[in-house]
Amino acid sequence: MNQVTGTSISRKDGRAKVTGQATYAAEHQIPDLVHGYLVTATIACGKIKSIDTQAAEKAPGVIGVFTHKNPPAVCKPANDFMTSKICEARLPLADDQIYYAGQIIGLVVADTFERARHAAHLVEVEYATQEPTLDPNKVTYKEAPSLFGQSMKFEQGDCGQGMADAAVKITATYKTSTELHAQMEPHAIIAHWQDTDTLTVYEPSQWVTGSQNTYADLFQIPPEKVRIITPFIGGGFGSKAFPWPHNILCASAARQLQIPLKVVLSRRQMTANAGHRSATQQVISLGANADGSLIAIDHSGKSFTSPVEDFTEPCTGVTPTMYAAPNLRLDQELGVMNVGTPTFMRAPGENPGLWAVESAMDELAWELNIDPVELRLRNETKKNQTDGLPFSAKDFAQCLRVGAEQFGWQDRPKKVRSVTRDGKLIGWGMAACNFPALKEGGISVTAKLLADGTAHILTGANDMGTGTYTIIAGTAAEVLGLPAEQVRVELGDSLLPNGGMAGGSQMTASLIPAVMAACQEVLKIAQADTAQSALAKLHQSGKPAFEATASATGDEGGKKWSFQSWGAHFCEVSVDEEIARLRIERWVSVMNIGRVMNAKTAASQVRGGVIMGIGQALMEECHFDPNIGYPVVYDLATYHFPSHADIPRIQVTFVGEPDYNFNAAGVRGVGEIGITGVCAAIANAVYHATGKRVRSLPITPDKLL
């Protein structure tokens, strides 16, 4: 153990999950619960001419049928991230318009799931169909709206002049496909009203407090009247951050019916109604001097959204942090298509953005005959080129050097198609990783030291499989001087203090300083240095517990530094050219994420990111039927992603130092950085192996034949 890498306790929630003791949203047992099944549109564009619900209403067990003709009451929310935030700005069943295939056009409620589903299929719909817009070449593009108040346009210097002055120049277009979150736990919700003003929601939510405020805004009731319960989440990856139309529809129908109501989405419904990562098209030009120093970077991106929400995949945001160039231009456009609404998905923007940037850097390295690691070192940024702030605890160069050494990069054959093994071509590739370090204010944690010698830590944060339970227990154990087994952690309930959002890889950085503060406060109240002496005092006092609630205080360096996490991937691929089979043979990842709270769960986050990136690089694509606009993948079998057999051993190392400019724990975040750069590392290795430059993901066999 050193200063950077923390202890390695195993998952607190591991046993509960593998033994089925962990209760997910749809598994909560509520007396008198009834079931809702969605009716969805079979066209992608047009309007409903008529909708006949008579047969459905008469079907056995049916309690209610809702369509745009009788939508359950719900108010338009502020939808501004502060008061409330929903994924799709249009409210469900708002009118007779159809904007995408699979759009929710009704909800049938019955006493059993099977009867609700059966009756949903009895709803007769007649459409006035218009031709949907599904072809990126026929879309009209507009300037992408700003995200979190930041414009997506940027320019420094004169890019045109920079390119003209460059000794070497490359320009290429890189594409990514529509991807699905494909998490294990389906989207589901149980809404349980007590009267019309008190609501309990069981749903997988990455943001307990946000969800609480949003339902309060949707029904114009005080947030204290809304309780969100989400102890376990079976994966979210960004798609469970805010309520979707089905959540809103379930909660409003349950209110009208005054019966607890459950809605579970089928995998097919999830392809249209629970978000995806938009396909992207990016053009990058790099201009460099003969020594490899960049003089111009021109990066423009296009992504697609639905007609009912402006969501941009912000591809160019990461570019100004990566490499220094006096002339830099960024531009981002958004095209509207008749597809479901996209949303945040693991490293939104940074992931497709670095696919393009890190592929282009590799192309430039070949062009200049400079080692790709060396090219990156020569162009390292000293400051963030958007705000001019220097980076805190960067250590990117160390990631590159340690990774190169661990991988054996110095032995890299300098020619393409120069290595074969067992009849297969072998290639090596590398790429950089980057993700901003974010944190949220106003986070609080309650810590209790009980007379039985255990500690309880309570906060309305959540664990979507990332390890929140575990790192909280580890932190409390360290501060209190207790074994981690004696720390109980309770999360995922809005009755607990605001624990923040599991999004933007910010939960650890937001929460851990508050856990430390609360535990330190408990010791202070006890006037003790450790839990042991505090316990002796507790027994003397006859009190049941020492208890404190605390927040992380102080804005540590927010205006002085730019905070990013950094890393590098190195990989080896093999290509069997006869059958165009591409396999990943070897993987090394080196990351600087500030202090590592738990070496085991942090490395698992990086491995998960790499695995998800391998899926994106090799397999994952959601196609839409060109005529009806329906996703032609619809479950975990038709949406291809990796299994164990596709994944090599992934060696993960953490370097750098704790980032105390960022917070008292020196910790940044690790949820998303692991997926960044993965696709580029693989495509770069494929080029080295085969001499084929693949610029469109995924790298399916047809692209290697």
CA distances from 593 to 157, 308, 563, 566 (A): 31, 37, 10, 7
Can you give the binding site for ligand MOS, defined by CB under 6 A?
206, 236-238, 241, 344-346, 348, 503-504
Q: Least distance from C-beta 271 to ligand MOS, angstroms? A: 18
Beta bridge partners of 109: 36, 64
User: Which residues, at least 6 apart from 259, have a Cβ–Cβ distance to it below 8 Å?
Assistant: 32, 33, 34, 63, 109
Of 301 and 504, the one with the shorter C-beta distance to ligand MOS is 504
Burial class (CB in 10 A: 0-12, 13-18, 19+), 29: exposed
Beta bridge partners of 36: 109, 263
**672 a catalytic residue:** yes
515, 447 contact by CB (below 8 A): yes
Of 206 and 269, the one with the shorter C-beta distance to ligand MOS is 206
Burial class (CB in 10 A: 0-12, 13-18, 19+), 488: middle
Q: Can you tell me whether residue 273 is helix, strand or coil?
A: helix
Of 236 and 642, the one with the shorter C-beta distance to ligand MOS is 236
| CA 284 – CA 119 distance, rounded (Å) | 52
Q: Least distance from C-beta 506 to ligand MOS, angstroms? A: 8
Of 503 and 615, the one with the shorter C-beta distance to ligand MOS is 503
Q: Least distance from C-beta 607 to ligand MOS, angstroms? A: 17
12, 88 contact by CB (below 8 A): no
| CA 468 – CA 229 distance, rounded (Å) | 16
Of 347 and 522, the one with the shorter C-beta distance to ligand MOS is 347
Of 38 and 345, the one with the shorter C-beta distance to ligand MOS is 345
| CA 350 – CA 317 distance, rounded (Å) | 7
Pairing, β 261-264 against β 34-40: parallel
Q: Least distance from C-beta 357 to ligand MOS, angstroms? A: 19
**Identity of the amino acid at 70:** N
Of 66, 64, 87, which is closest to residue 77 (Cα–Cα)?
Answer: 87
Of 125, 130, 132, which is closest to residue 100 (Cα–Cα)?
Answer: 132
Residue nearest to ligand MOS (CB): 238
Of 238 and 474, the one with the shorter C-beta distance to ligand MOS is 238
Q: Least distance from C-beta 356 to ligand MOS, angstroms? A: 19
Of 309 and 521, the one with the shorter C-beta distance to ligand MOS is 309
Of 320 and 671, the one with the shorter C-beta distance to ligand MOS is 671
202, 321 contact by CB (below 8 A): no
Q: Least distance from C-beta 179 to ligand MOS, angstroms? A: 12
User: Which residues, at least 6 apart from 146, have a Cβ–Cβ distance to it below 8 Å?
Assistant: 152
Of 310, 316, 330, which is closest to residue 280 (Cα–Cα)?
Answer: 316
- Helix axis angle for 678-690 and 350-368, nearest 10°, is 30
| CA 380 – CA 358 distance, rounded (Å) | 13
Q: Of 88, 309, 358, 672, which is the active-site residue?
A: 672
User: Which residues, at least 6 apart from 578, have a Cβ–Cβ distance to it below 8 Å?
Assistant: none
Q: Least distance from C-beta 343 to ligand MOS, angstroms? A: 8
Pairing, β 581-592 against β 650-654: parallel
Of 297, 311, 312, 411, which is closest to residue 360 (Cα–Cα)?
Answer: 297
Q: Least distance from C-beta 465 to ligand MOS, angstroms? A: 11
Q: Least distance from C-beta 466 to ligand MOS, angstroms? A: 9
| CA 695 – CA 177 distance, rounded (Å) | 11
Q: What's the token pair of residue 547?
A: 């208890």
Of 187, 233, 191, 204, which is closest to residue 30 (Cα–Cα)?
Answer: 191
Q: Least distance from C-beta 210 to ligand MOS, angstroms? A: 12
Q: Least distance from C-beta 303 to ligand MOS, angstroms? A: 14
Residue with tokens 């593998």: 18
User: Which residues, at least 6 apart from 653, have a Cβ–Cβ distance to it below 8 Å?
Assistant: 402, 403, 406, 588, 589, 590, 591
Q: What's the token pair of residue 473?
A: 């227990």
Q: Least distance from C-beta 564 to ligand MOS, angstroms? A: 15
Of 200 and 508, the one with the shorter C-beta distance to ligand MOS is 508
Of 348 and 497, the one with the shorter C-beta distance to ligand MOS is 348
Of 92 and 348, the one with the shorter C-beta distance to ligand MOS is 348
282, 352 contact by CB (below 8 A): yes
461, 499 contact by CB (below 8 A): yes
Locate the DSSP E strands across 232-293.
261-264, 280-288
Q: Can you tell me whether residue 677 is helix, strand or coil?
A: coil
Burial class (CB in 10 A: 0-12, 13-18, 19+), 61: middle
Active site residues per annotation: 672
